[in-house]
């Protein structure tokens, strides 16, 4: 749903609570890490609040004396039944499930508090930035609410300039309870890690700053002598006459643009085709880009490439490419827990490279920004997805607005990343007219924000007979790439693989976005014994032979790189709350199927 500042604002006012006169949330600032900032990562005090007494009174009405005040007794007789300063601490960013063993299965509310020192800087604005909080969060600074955010995987930022007092505190109410109207909905096959799961920063920006900018290489004829890079930028408010300068030193580009009445600039940067080196998996070339407004210069590293679908082929820089991929969850490489740093990203992506991948599907929600940037540096293309997963509340307008906002923020954060080639809007959604309207509008919105990439989604297949897999989905007209999940060998007999026929009646490239089966590392037996490495190994052999027969196959992303935690996987001594479909165990050990997939990719 569209971000809103205070839920139940009228009730809060009625009960005497401080209410915000306006939403302090700002549109997401592109490349916010390029500005001067102070990290608020590190130890935060936390209070587990099972019944949300820090927010509601005993009649479930918002209270005027909640935990957000960080109150202290002023007289000996004062009754205050909490104390953040005496509460335990937890490292942020993290998930609470793996930080405190008592909270392993916990879903509910936890309060977090961090003290920090900061003063108002003349001529600058102070922006409080969160990389992600799962799922429903309220934020206060010095006892005053600054915002309410819904969604567990995308960043958001608030203007807190006038609230800073030198010595300050920020309090976060994080609630990861699941609801039918949420995105994702109540049931999903991954761990519902709660908490402040990504970086927190206090960022200083000038009063007038570049809110968003975009550089994309335009498509051109193969033998074109000159290439064109489209450039656009938007200020944080409407103001004409501001000078925006773009420099790419290595390409000898140095151009100046003037904002229009809406505070926007648009134009093109021309460069010799011989001078520019295009980004690709074999050549992950990034250029230093400097974008200046007044005395402020934003630095970024950007690669230039084109991606398109033509007939049944995917073309990178005008040349056909096969996407040798794998699905990855945003979970730490060794054991469970939310991955949230570049070291985690490098380990996971190095395993993908060892598998032979040039492509990863980051399932089933936007991963942390360093995952995308590290993949870009390593030459790995990316499918990025929002958590419209399984059975969403298709007829609820607030649910649609929620999904739309998550899609918007995913694209706003990463639209300058050369390696992101696919925006995905859904996974395994049941067909209905309401679903088609919901997803169709998401696809239209994604294209309106960024028409330089491909749109896809993971569809389902339906069998017309016992041995025919037929793809029939009304969403085919909205996507550039037809992608689907299938589990022959796991949810139906592996012996059926050689008999299967595929009917895909669309003149578009095909990605098999999921296939595979489970195995426990180190458990061996015959190839027909479920959960053994031999069973998974044989399943992969049979599936790969089957997939070779699909007309228009342009890529695969088997499910999944490594085992990951899921509350749906309860079989003792085998699953133990892990989905065991990984090609690598939860402790980084490669299973036999890993080598089957690696050898197949060597020949693609």
Kindly list the domain boundaries of the chain, sorted by start residue.
9-206, 220-305, 321-602
What pLDDT does residue 229 have? 97
User: Which CATH superfamily does the domain covering 220-305 fall into?
Assistant: Immunoglobulins (2.60.40.10)
What pLDDT does residue 464 have? 61
pLDDT tens digits, one per residue of 519-567: 999 999 999 999 999 999 999 999 999 999 999 999 999 999 999 999 9
What pLDDT does residue 9 have? 36
Which tokens hold the place of 285? 């070339």
pLDDT at 39 over 60: yes
For 321-602, CATH number? Answer: 3.20.20.80
Nearest to 400 by CA among 444, 461, 348: 444
For residues 263 and 242, is the Cβ–Cβ distance under 8 A?
A: yes
Diameter of the chain measured on Cα atoms: 83
pLDDT at 11 over 60: no
Report the alpha-carbon distance of residue 189 to residue 583 in Å, rounded.
Answer: 17
pLDDT tens digits, one per residue of 78-107: 999 999 999 999 999 999 999 999 999 999
Of residues 524 and 469, more confidently modeled: 524
Edge-to-edge order in the sheet of strand 313-316: 307-310, 313-316, 319-320
Percent of the chain at pLDDT exceeding 70: 96
Residue 542's SS3 state is: helix
Report the alpha-carbon distance of residue 361 to residue 602 in Å, rounded.
Answer: 19
Which tokens hold the place of 250? 């290595």
In CATH, 9-206 is 2.60.120.260: yes
């Amino acid at each position: 749903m569209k971000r809103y500042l205070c839920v139940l604002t009228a009730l809060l006012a009625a009960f005497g609570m401080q209410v915000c006169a306006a939403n302090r949330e700002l549109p997401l600032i592109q490349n916010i890490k390029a500005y001067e900032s102070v990290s608020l990562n590190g130890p935060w005090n936390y209070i587990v609040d099972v019944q949300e007494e820090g927010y509601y009174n005993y009649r479930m009405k918002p209270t005027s004396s909640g935990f957000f005040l960080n109150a202290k007794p002023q007289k000996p007789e004062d009754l205050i039944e909490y104390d953040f300063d005496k509460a335990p601490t937890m490292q942020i960013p993290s998930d609470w499930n793996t930080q405190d063993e008592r909270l392993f299965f916990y879903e509910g509310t936890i309060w977090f508090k961090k003290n920090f020192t900061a003063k108002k800087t003349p001529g600058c604005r102070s922006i409080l930035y969160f990389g992600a909080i799962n799922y429903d969060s309220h934020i206060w600074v010095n006892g005053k609410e600054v915002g309410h955010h819904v969604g567990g995987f995308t960043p958001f930022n608030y203007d807190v300039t006038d609230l800073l007092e030198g010595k300050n505190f920020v309090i976060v109410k994080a609630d990861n309870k699941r609801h039918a109207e949420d995105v994702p909905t109540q049931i999903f096959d991954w761990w519902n890690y709660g908490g402040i799961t990504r970086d927190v920063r206090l960022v200083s920006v000038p009063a007038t700053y570049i809110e968003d900018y975009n550089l994309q290489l335009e498509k051109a004829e193969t033998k074109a002598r000159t290439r064109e890079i489209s450039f656009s930028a938007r200020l944080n408010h409407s103001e004409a006459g501001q000078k925006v300068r773009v420099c790419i030193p290595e390409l000898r580009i140095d151009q100046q643009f003037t904002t229009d009445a809406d505070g926007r600039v648009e134009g093109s940067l021309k460069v010799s085709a011989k001078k520019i080196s295009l980004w690709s998996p074999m050549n992950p070339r990034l250029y230093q880009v400097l974008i200046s407004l007044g005395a402020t210069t934003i630095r970024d590293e950007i690669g230039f490439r084109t991606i398109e679908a033509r007939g049944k082929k995917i073309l990178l820089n005008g040349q056909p490419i096969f996407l040798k991929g794998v699905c990855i969850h945003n979970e730490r490489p060794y054991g469970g827990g939310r991955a949230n740093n570049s070291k985690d990203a490098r380990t996971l992506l190095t395993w993908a490279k060892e598998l032979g991948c040039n492509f990863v599907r980051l399932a089933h929600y936007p991963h942390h920004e360093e995952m995308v940037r590290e993949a870009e540096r390593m030459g790995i293309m990316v499918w990025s997805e929002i958590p419209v997963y399984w059975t969403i509340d298709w007829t609820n307008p607030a649910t649609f607005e929620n999904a739309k906002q998550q899609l918007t923020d995913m694209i706003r954060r990463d639209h300058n990343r050369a390696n992101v080639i696919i925006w995905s809007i859904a996974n395994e959604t049941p067909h209905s007219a309401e679903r088609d309207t919901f997803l169709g509008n998401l696809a239209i919105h994604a294209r309106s924000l960024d028409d330089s990439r491909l749109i896809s989604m993971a569809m389902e297949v339906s069998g017309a007979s016992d041995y025919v897999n037929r793809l029939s989905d009304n969403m085919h007209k909205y996507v550039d790439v037809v992608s689907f999940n299938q589990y022959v060998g796991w949810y139906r007999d592996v012996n059926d693989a050689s008999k299967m026929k595929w009917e895909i009646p669309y003149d578009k490239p095909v990605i098999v976005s999921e296939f595979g089966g489970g195995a426990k590392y180190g458990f061996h037996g015959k190839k027909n014994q479920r959960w053994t490495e031999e069973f998974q190994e044989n399943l992969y052999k049979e599936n790969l032979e089957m997939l070779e027969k699909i007309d228009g196959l342009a890529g695969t992303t088997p499910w999944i790189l490594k085992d990951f935690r899921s509350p749906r996987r309860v079989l003792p001594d085998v699953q133990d709350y892990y989905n065991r479909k990984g090609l690598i165990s939860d402790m980084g050990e490669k299973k036999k199927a890993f080598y089957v997939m690696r050898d197949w990719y060597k020949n693609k």
